[in-house]
Amino acid sequence: MTTAATTPLPPAPSTAQEAEIADGIRAGDARCLALAYQRWGGLVQGLATRSLGDPLEAEDVTQQVFLAAWRGGAHYRPERGPLAAWLVGIARHKIADALASRTRRSVLTAAAASLPQGPDPAAQPEICLDRVLVRAELARLPDPHRRVLWMAYFGELTQAEIAARTGLPLGTVKSHARRGLHRLRASLERAESE
C-alpha cells in the first residue's frame, strides 16, 4: 500500500526500453524526454538537492538539465555510457554553474554592502536645493539639448544609445549634449551670481 507521501518509482526500463528512450531523445521526441524525466528526474533532483542544499534551486537545475538534454539530445552517444550517466553528467555541469552563480552573487552582495553610503539628501537641504535648481535650469534648455541631457543623466544612457533611441546621428547627439552643457553651466553661473 502506498501513501500520498511516498510515490513509487516507475519500474526500471529494460535495456531495450532505455535504448528506445535514448534514440527518441536523440531524434527530438518529446514523449521520450517525458519518459526520461519520469524515470531519472528524481535521481537528478536528488543529486542537485544534496549538492546545493536548496530544494527550489535543485528544481531549477533539474529543469535546466532536461532542457539541455532536449536541446542537445543529438549529442548523446550511447557507446559512451547509459542515458542516466549522460543526464548525471549534464546535472553536474548545471550544479557547478549554480554554485558559481551563487558565489558571484555573494561576492557582489558583499562588495555592494562594503561600498560607502552617500549622504542622505534629506539631511543636507543644500543638495536638494541644488537638484531643484539644476532641474529648473535643465527645463529651460531648448528641447533637443534638454532631451539629450535628460536621457544621458537621468536615463543613464550612452550617447550611442541616445542616438539609437532618438534616431539622431551620433554627431548630432554629441553636439546637443555639448551645447546643452555649455548653456546649463552659463545659466547656473548666472543663478549663483544673483
pLDDT in tens, 108-155: 777 777 766 666 655 666 666 667 777 788 888 888 888 888 888 878
Average pLDDT over residues 171-180: 89
List the grid coordinates of 112.
Answer: 555592494
pTM score? 0.52
Positive or negative, the CA dihedral 122, 123, 125, 130 is negative
Report all structural domains of the chain as residue ranges with CATH numbers, in order of start: 15-114 (1.10.1740.10), 121-193 (1.10.10.10)
